[in-house]
Each structure stands twice: as C-alpha cells, then as structure tokens.
Amino acid sequence: MNNIELWQSVLSQMQFHISRANFATWFQNTEIISKDNEKIIISVPNAFSKEWLSNKYNKLILKTLHDIDDSIRELEFVIKPQPIKNTPIKNTSGIEEQEEIQLKFEEFKINKETNLNPRYTFNSFVVGSFNELAHAAALAVADNPGFTYNPLFIYGGTGLGKTHLIQAIGNKINDELKKKKIKYISSEKFVSSIVSAIRTNTMETFKASLAPIDVLILDDIQFIAGKNKSQEEFFHIFNSLYEKNKQIILSSDRPPNAIAELEDRLRSRFEGGMIADVSLPDYETRLVILKTKLQEKNADLPEDVLDYIAANVKKNIRELEGALNKILIHNKINPGLNLEMVKKLLRGFVFSPFDVANYKKIIETVAKFYNLEEKNLFDPTRRKEIVKPRQVAMFLLRKELKYSFPAIARKFGGKDHTTAIYAFKKIEAENEENNKLTEELNLIKQRIYSG
C-alpha cells in the first residue's frame, strides 16, 4: 500500500468519526508526504489546519493509522502551501493523482451555492418500513415544493438518514427545477449567523439574504432550543418565507413536542405541516443497505461477511457504513478476509449485551412471558389480559430500542401514536409504584438479553 492509498484509507475512516463540516474543513488538501519506520509525516495547507489537526485529531488519526499498520507510532504535521489551482503543474510528485483521490471524497464536493452534498440522493437512499413515511413525504415535497407539506419536519435518532433525506430533496429540486434557489444550513451555523447579525446590527441584511430562497433546509433544528433571541428571529424568517409559499424543511433528533425550551409559537409552526420519523432498520434492510453501499463503491464481499455485519451492527446506519468501510479497507490490504477476522475487526461496532435486543425478540419474549401467542398482542381488543402485555411490549420497544411513538403505533396496526405514548407513560408510572410489575419487567428484560 503506498502513501496515497494509506491516507485515503485513513480519510475514509475519519469521515465516520467526525462531522461532515469538520471533515471537509480539516482534511481537505492533506496528504502523507513521508513514512519512515514508525513515523508518518502529513502535510497540511496552513498553520491553522496544523494546529487543529495536531490538537484535536492527532490521537484519532494515529489510532486509525496504527489499526491499518501497527508499525506506525508517531505523527507529525508540516505546512505545505497548496499549489494555486488553474496553474497546471504537470508530472510532479503525484499532485494530480492526489487531487483525483481527494475528489473521491464527496464531502469535498459540496455545492457552494446550495451547501448540498451531491452524494445524498433519493437514488442512494434505501427505503424500508423504518423510514417509508418520511421518504414518501420527502418525495412529495421534492415534486412540488411549497405546496404539499409545509413545513416538512423529519425526526429520528442519530445516524438514521435525516440529513441524507432532507438533502436528497434539495438535490432533486436542484436537478429538476433549475430556477429554484435552495439553501441547506445546519442549525448551528444558522444560529451563529443570527447571533452575529444581532451583534453587528445587520439583521436586515441577513434577512434580505434569505428572502430569495425558495427552499430552506435547516438540519438539527433542536439546536435552537433555549436560544431565545434566535428563536424570535427565526419565527419571523419562517413566517415571511411561509407566506410566500417557500418550502421549509426541518430535521430534528426528536418531535417538536419533545423539544424542551422551544417557544410555543415555533412549536405550533413546526407542527403545522407534515411530521414524519425515521427509525431503525431491521436486519433485512440492513443487508440491503450494505449491498447498496457496496454497489456504489464498486466493491464486493462474501455473503457470510455481509450477513455478519448486518446481523451485528445495529446501532444506526452511520455505524453500519463505518463497519463496512473498515472491512473493505482491510480486505484491500490483505485480500482473503475470513469471518474470524471480521469479528475481530468489528469488535468496536458490536454492542452487547444492550444491542442484542431487537423488535422480534421483544415481541416474542413478552408474548411468551404472558402465555400468549405473538399475534394476540396485536389483537384489537380491550381485554385486560391482552392490553397489559401489549402496553409492556410498547414500553420496551420505546425504552430498549428507542422506537419513536409513531413507529410503535404503526407496528401495532396503525394505532394513533398517542396510544403508544399513553402505554409508555402508564407502564412507566406503574413501574415506579408497583413492585410486581418491576419484577416482571426485569424478568422479561433478562430473557430478552440472555440470547
């Protein structure tokens, strides 16, 4: 493996450990310039990068390098100003080659106008029962921005595809409706722009810069919670866009009614359009996602390896992708991977015992515990001997697997999600006071986690 390949491997691992924005900022135009024995020298474009990388990422980079090549023990960063673009420098020290590799990292290809990453498309987005509502709503919005659901509010846990999905909307509109002006902004960035506009007395200019936007995409809007001035300004920005039928798309790690310290008037705006969640993919879908990613990367892995990854990496899709990447890199260095090696490599991705719970196991265990058949749990009946086990199952799906309430409601025959909330609260409250129930829950959990 030459230095370029080695650095590329490191970068493809780093992507999964740090945010996209940071990745692009700190790793663009970096490369390994020498490797002798234990020491690697990395060139960076300026002093600022050098400081950041050596202070913040030294350990992580070293560990990643060491994982790939365990002889590496030391890192040094040196400043090497980049050749100015448009000045063709031919046939020198692999600069062209390096550039080609840099381009493979789509994070570096973010559209300057829209801030969208072209990698996030509907085409590359796998749909399953865990995200189909959100996907359908997103497509509908992309086809008719401003007039279908406004705002569109997508929520769910980290690494489950929110950013991918809301950017896919932007990319589709950008491709098909060329005249529409689209802007993707992280809420962190958005809030800091508002704060600095307040500080410098330039709010009107800031607002004017947003006025021509047809589609405003704000990622991780829960970030605005508790920031009162920003909420106030955002409320006005929201209204002025909304009144002109401009599309607003929001993502969050939780639904609007669960964002503490959110002004009521904003909450009711967020709830005024379409709210859809993304939850966890099941085993089959995880396998489909892995295969899709392999195809994108033009790579291949043995079926038993894929099966192992899909069966064991369950936390979220980002981890799934990270695990796949790790295996692919090792396979490239030492072709002829076997399952034992894969298990060893993925130790950090496989969580136990917590992660051995899954939907099927919970339903199975709860039904058995209460001497019911699994299908009884889904019976539309108010009989006490069914209602309680059903509520326990809902409670555990929420508590142990972090299922969203709408997702739980859908699993139980499309019930209203308030039924799921009610079940969760009821069992939670009873668990506090009723030792018998606590004991039952402990027994059920033991069974769920004992394999």
Question: Which residues of the chain form contacts with ligand ADP (CB under 6 A)?
Answer: 124-126, 131, 158-164, 289, 317-318, 321
Could you give the C-alpha distances from 6 to 1, 10, 12, 320, in angstroms and in order? 6, 6, 10, 22
| Shortest reach from residue 218's CB to ligand ADP, in Å | 12
Number of residues that bind Mg ion (CB under 5 A): 2
Using a 10 angstrom Cβ sphere, with 0-12 exposed, 13-18 middle and 19 or more buried, the burial of residue 332 is middle
| C-beta of 163 vs 222, nearer to ligand ADP | 163
What does DSSP assign to residue 83? P
* Position with the least CB separation from ligand ADP: 161
| Shortest reach from residue 428's CB to ligand ADP, in Å | 26
| C-beta of 50 vs 286, nearer to ligand ADP | 286
| C-beta of 49 vs 279, nearer to ligand ADP | 279
| C-beta of 116 vs 160, nearer to ligand ADP | 160
| C-beta of 49 vs 163, nearer to Mg ion | 163
Answer for which of 150, 163, 186, 365 binds Mg ion (CB under 5 A) is 163
Residue 222 in the binding site for Mg ion (CB under 5 A): no
Residue 186 in the binding site for Mg ion (CB under 5 A): no
From the list ligand ADP, Mg ion, none, pick the one residue 164 interacts with, judged by a Cβ distance below 5 to 8 Å according to partner type.
Answer: ligand ADP
Residue 64 in the binding site for Mg ion (CB under 5 A): no
Neighbours of 350 (CB within 10 A): 18
From the list ligand ADP, Mg ion, none, pick the one residue 289 interacts with, judged by a Cβ distance below 5 to 8 Å according to partner type.
Answer: ligand ADP
The CA distance from 262 to 223, in Å, is: 10
Q: Classify 382 as helix, strand or coil.
A: coil
| C-beta of 132 vs 385, nearer to ligand ADP | 132
Structure tokens belonging to residue 227: 């920031």
Exposure string of 91-116, with b = 16+ CB inside 10 Å and e = fewer, is eeeeeeebeebbeebebeebeeebbb
From the list ligand ADP, Mg ion, none, pick the one residue 170 interacts with, judged by a Cβ distance below 5 to 8 Å according to partner type.
Answer: none
| Shortest reach from residue 302's CB to ligand ADP, in Å | 21
From the list Mg ion, ligand ADP, none, pick the one residue 287 interacts with, judged by a Cβ distance below 5 to 8 Å according to partner type.
Answer: none
| Shortest reach from residue 251's CB to ligand ADP, in Å | 7
* Position with the least CB separation from Mg ion: 163
| Shortest reach from residue 141's CB to Mg ion, in Å | 17
| C-beta of 101 vs 127, nearer to ligand ADP | 127
| C-beta of 319 vs 440, nearer to ligand ADP | 319
| Shortest reach from residue 221's CB to ligand ADP, in Å | 12
From the list ligand ADP, Mg ion, none, pick the one residue 273 interacts with, judged by a Cβ distance below 5 to 8 Å according to partner type.
Answer: none
Q: What are phi and psi of 180, to 5 degrees?
A: -70, 135
Q: Which residue has the tokens 């894929």?
A: 306
Strand intervals (E) in 122-254? 152-155, 182-186, 215-219, 247-252
The CA distance from 327 to 233, in Å, is: 47
Rounded to whole angstroms, the maximal C-alpha distance in the chain is 79
Strand order in 74-79's β-sheet? 31-36, 39-44, 74-79
| Shortest reach from residue 316's CB to ligand ADP, in Å | 7
| C-beta of 153 vs 308, nearer to Mg ion | 153
Encoded amino acid at 11, one letter: L
| C-beta of 160 vs 310, nearer to Mg ion | 160
| C-beta of 127 vs 421, nearer to Mg ion | 127
| Shortest reach from residue 13's CB to ligand ADP, in Å | 13
Stretch that binds Mg ion, among 2-10, 75-83, 154-162, 264-272 (CB under 5 A): 154-162
| Shortest reach from residue 40's CB to ligand ADP, in Å | 27
- Report yes or no: 184 and 170 within 8 Å, Cβ to Cβ: yes
The CA distance from 160 to 163, in Å, is: 8
Residue 43 in the binding site for Mg ion (CB under 5 A): no
Would residue 159 be called left, alpha or beta, if left means φ above 0 and alpha means ψ between -120 and 50 degrees?
left
The CA distance from 163 to 251, in Å, is: 7
| Shortest reach from residue 107's CB to Mg ion, in Å | 13
| Shortest reach from residue 124's CB to ligand ADP, in Å | 6
The CA distance from 229 to 233, in Å, is: 6
Q: How many residues does the chain have?
A: 451
From the list ligand ADP, Mg ion, none, pick the one residue 222 interacts with, judged by a Cβ distance below 5 to 8 Å according to partner type.
Answer: none
Q: Which of 170, 143, 169, 145 is nearest to 245 (CA)?
A: 145
Does residue 83 have a cis peptide bond before it, meaning omega lies within 30 degrees of 0?
Answer: no
Residues that bind Mg ion (CB under 5 A): 162-163
